[in-house]
Structures are given as C-alpha cells and as structure tokens.
Structure 1
C-alpha cells in the first residue's frame, strides 16, 4: 500500500478560492448532492407489485430516498438505476448467498427496465416540476438551480440490449444516459464479479465481441459506460476500446476493503489517466476491511478513509459519491438521504475545504457527464 499523501492535498485545497453553491429554499442542506447510484425505482415497482403504495413524492417508510428525505439532506439529483433482479434474489442489490446470480433472459430485463422507466416518467409527470428528467448537463444545472430533483436514467446490467443495439436508440430517446455492462453476473456482453470476500476482481474472461461493440455503440451516442460490477479483464477491455473517461459509479478501494467489487490501484491509475471518476459506495460491506455487509455501526471515518485514498489516487476532480441508496446497507449514522449532511460534516472535520466538498458532492459528477455526453 502506497503511503497516503492526503495531508498535502488538503493543504493545496485549503485557502483556494471558494465558489460555494447554495441550494434553493426547497432544500435544507448547505451543499447539493448529485449522487452516482441508487436503486429506488426498483424498490418502488417491487413494492407496488406487492400491493403497497409508496409515496416517493412525499415520504416512503423504510426507503433511503424520497422527496422529504431528499429535501432535508440536500439530495438534488443523481443516476437512478434500472436493475433487473434474479428471481431468487432479494429486491435489493446483495444476493441472499455470496455467489453470482444466474444469467437472465432479455424478456425479463425488458419487463423490469421499461417498468422502472415508466415509473420514473410517471413520477416526473406527477411532481409538478419538482422532479425533472435530465438528458444533458445543462438540464441538471437548471433543475438544481430551480430546486428540483435532477433524475438521470442509468441501466445496471445490459441484458435489455439486443444484439443489433436497436434498444439503445429507443432507451436513449427516453432519457437513458448511462449504462453498466454487467451487474455481478455474466451476460452476453461480459462478466461480472461475485460478492465473495476476500477476493480479486480478476475473475472470469473479458468482454465478448458483442461487449466490445457495445462500448463503441455507447461512445457513438455519448453514453456513460459504468465499470462498477464489471470484472477486471472487462475493465481493461473497456479501457482499451473507449474514447471516453473511465467511470465507476459506486465502487471503493480494494486495498482498504478487498472485495471483488472494489478497485485495485492499477484500475484507479487507469481511471485517473483517463480523466475519469469514482463514486464512493456507502455499502458497509464495500467499506469495511472485513467485508461484513450487516454492520450498520460502520463509522463515517471509514468512508473518509476511502475518500482520502481515492483523492490521493485520482485527484480532487476524480472523486464523487455513489451511495447505492435503496440497494445496500449503509452506515446507521447516515441512515438515508436525510443524513447526507452528516457525511459532509465529517468531510469538514477531516479538513476538506469548501471547494473540495463542492466538487465531491456535485461538481465532479456534472463535469464528467458534460464531458462524456458532449452537452
């Protein structure tokens, strides 16, 4: 493990010119948060399928994200994932047993993906302007300036994409702007990593020929290619093929938590060289050095340890947040989106300056999306 040099980084950012962005009155927190990953749309459609009536525009009991919690915590937008669960899996992201799920068919992926997209569209229509679908960086900035939730559609696992890539155009027209090639299971495009611990991301073969072509098709349309959940050989195939910055929306540091879901130093070096970004995952199992997914008592200082390391490896423009809200167990001190200011306070206590906090909480994501989307 290379020695941490974050004290030097903090000295560089402290005293820098500060351009603080104050949220509109709709939000109660000082800093707007643009988050790289949540699974809230899946939870909504799953609960509705069970006859429940969760009120995202008001308050959803037991959810990490709803508009009440977002307003309190300053969650101003993010990438809303559309993930298709295996039939035997729980509705959230962690399988009941530490193995990869079996591959799923495209029909099931279509069912879930379009149901989640329909749900997002319905929320936007019913929100009276308080939730906005964003297809460009300008859309995100305008939504945040208006105090509205900026919703960006993301697919986690490309099973919905057909071999001729016609679905990409349909989904793009409806607002898709980011896609993860795999979840932690294999598909026709590539291989995901298991949830075993400890373990290496070097698990399985690289991208298929169709996977390489998917990268090119995403580049052609300006779609973000998300490397979280992809195995290491697939990571390097993307790095060799793409002409866009490398992005891992919700991953942490393998050196600090040796799960296959986290990134090695070589991977972090490649992301830095590409001008890319990593979003800190709040899932306790990807933060802890023992990989325990049940330990809600995980301290916020553990999250700061990962942020320090990412800042050393990627620089202050390459680090952001990717909570995995509504898809993972997060530290009890945060609990849900309303607790995001506690993480910000921990950054301040660790010596992060206002400019750096603004970059981590929202600016780095928006700038990365602008560079990738071209608008």
Structure 2
C-alpha cells in the first residue's frame, strides 16, 4: 500500500545544517531510505523560513530549492512532482514523488511576480501564513485577529490561475472564512487535526472541517502530540479518534496525513518517523476496510492532486 504525506520540514533541517544529508537518521525523521521502505508514493517538502531569520526574502527560498534538488532529487528513485503526468508516472513506474511546497509567503515581500517564478521552479502548494500575520493574511497566533489584505486576495487569485494549491492550515478563523468567500478552487489543510478532540488553536473547528469536505478539499492529520491530545504522550489510538470524527462528518474520502515530521519537537510514541507509517497502516486495517485505509494512506491525496495539479 502506497503513502502520500502532505507536509514535512526536512528541508529546514538541511538548510540550518549543511552537514546533514538526506539519509541522516540521527537528525532526520524523513529520510531517503525510510521513504523507500515505507513505499511512499509522494512526500511534500515544505519551504519554511524560520521566524528566527531576519528579513526573509526570495534568496532564502531559492536556497531551499537548491537543497531540494541537490539533496533530494539527486537520488535516482525520486521524481519532482509538478503536474498530473508526473504523479501518474511515479505511480506506474514505482518512483517516489517529491512535491515542493511553501509554508508562509513572508519571504515574497508582497512581490506577486515571484509567484510565477515559484511556479516555474515547481512549487505546487502554498500555505499563506505560518502562525503569525504577514503582508497577505493573519495566522492563528496573530493578536490583531484580522484577515486578508487586498494584496493577499490577489495572491489567491494568481495561485488559482496558475494551478498552485492553497493550504489553510495556519490561517486564523476569520482569514479561513474570508478565504472561502473569494477562492474558486478546492483547497487543503495539510497538517491540522480536530479541535473538538484537542482544543489547540491550530486545529480545525467542526464547521471548518465540513466546509473542506463540501468543497472537495483535503485534510492531512498531523502527528504532533499537542495537536492529537494536548500532551507529550500520544499514540496511534489517540489519532484514530480524529480519523473517526472526520469520517462521521462524511469525510472518509477527504482525509489523509500530513505528518509535520522534522518540524515538530516531539513525536508520538508509535509514530516517530516516516518508517512508522507501516505501523499506522497495520493498525488502521484492524478497524477499516482495505479500500478505506488505502484512501487514508494515499488515494485521497492522489485523487485530489490528480484533479488539481496542472496537466503539464
């Protein structure tokens, strides 16, 4: 059974320490060999410019793109996923797909012409904010609690036209609902869980989940313990409650995973790295039919990207 994971931060670790390579198990959760061992069809690699970096700009993003090519795509079995054909090729030829995403548009500095450049470089998904506000919109921890700027709305329009999927995982509620009023494409929450089960501000309220289901978007459940049960001590059994909650809302075909591996400082006890996806799959098969588990593990994401990625 294949796997698609919608979010990891391994590029950030390799950016911050140039001596870390892509199979360095001592430092990384997501590695080349673990992806191959777990039969991963596609891993999304986030470009996340840490808030610790002063004046983030396009040069920082370009350095991440270089690392993506130099340390990930150089391996023979990996293919850069930029369109529907790439995705189908990865599936039929048993390749491991790698999709480039951007987490927070701060480094673009409001220059919308950079969006076309990012598209040409293969970025196919953009999260508009991280936790705080930027020139485009407000995130979940921004005290002013505002929404999209005019330029932020223009960003959404351009991304919709280009074929860049938009990710709402870090938007505050006001931004989320305003976004739904002017976007014209299905969107995702790449790494968020259920607020009713774990009342962390980064998790999704019931009406947000039903909205994503209604517009045929996708939700990637995250493996950060504090998003699972608000503690440092979480297990797959706790994650199952989030899965069942979304399924009860009619979201069994809109649900996948976005681990946030390498972007979290704590891991679940039985989901410590990409290799443990095998344990997750085996556990799910005890409770759900194989075709439903196949959906959770990869097919729901595959169907979404097959429909929403550019043709070429």
Q: Secondary structure at the match of 2:284?
A: helix
Q: Secondary structure at the match of 2:131?
A: coil
The change in CA–CA distance for 1:348 and 1:187 in structure 2 (over 3 A counts) is: same
Alignment correspondent of 1:358: 294
> What is the CA-CA distance between 1:163 and the residue it aligns to?
3.2
In structure 2, list runs of 5 or more residues that go unmatched.
Answer: none
Alignment correspondent of 2:100: 153
Aligned pair 1:112/2:70, yes or no? no
Q: Deviation digits for residues 111-168 of structure 1, max 9, x if unmatched? A: 33111111111135531x2111110132123123333221111000011334341100
CA distance in 2 between partners of 1:344 and 1:240 (Å): 36
**What is the aligned-residue RMSD (CA, Å)?**
1.8
Alignment correspondent of 1:96: none
Matches within 5 A, 1:1-375: 31-48=1-18, 53-56=19-22, 58-87=23-52, 105=55, 108-124=56-72, 126-127=74-75, 129-194=76-141, 204-288=145-229, 291-292=230-231, 295=232, 297-328=233-264, 329-349=266-286, 351-375=287-311
> What is the CA-CA distance between 1:314 and the residue it aligns to?
4.2
> What is the CA-CA distance between 1:59 and the residue it aligns to?
3.9
The change in CA–CA distance for 1:356 and 1:234 in structure 2 (over 3 A counts) is: same
The question of whether the paired residues in 2 share the 8 Å contact of 1:83 and 1:112 is answered with no
The question of whether the paired residues in 2 share the 8 Å contact of 1:74 and 1:340 is answered with no
Mean Cα displacement is larger for which, 152-161 or 71-80?
Answer: 71-80
The question of whether the paired residues in 2 share the 8 Å contact of 1:70 and 1:338 is answered with yes
CA distance in 1 between partners of 2:4 and 2:73 (Å): 21
The change in CA–CA distance for 1:132 and 1:285 in structure 2 (over 3 A counts) is: same
Q: Which has the larger radius of gyration?
A: 1
The question of whether the paired residues in 2 share the 8 Å contact of 1:277 and 1:314 is answered with no
> What is the CA-CA distance between 1:202 and the residue it aligns to?
10
Q: Deviation digits for residues 29-86 of structure 1, max 9, x if unmatched? A: xx111101000111111111xxxx2231x44313111111112222232211000102
Q: TM-score, normalised by structure 1?
A: 0.79
CA distance in 1 between partners of 2:309 and 2:127 (Å): 15
Q: Deviation digits for residues 246-269 of structure 1, max 9, x if unmatched? A: 310100000001111000011111
Q: Secondary structure at the match of 2:57?
A: helix
In structure 1, list runs of 5 or more residues that go unmatched.
Answer: 1-30, 89-103, 195-200
Q: Secondary structure at the match of 1:213?
A: helix
Q: Secondary structure at the match of 1:154?
A: strand
The question of whether the paired residues in 2 share the 8 Å contact of 1:78 and 1:151 is answered with yes
> What is the CA-CA distance between 1:217 and the residue it aligns to?
0.9
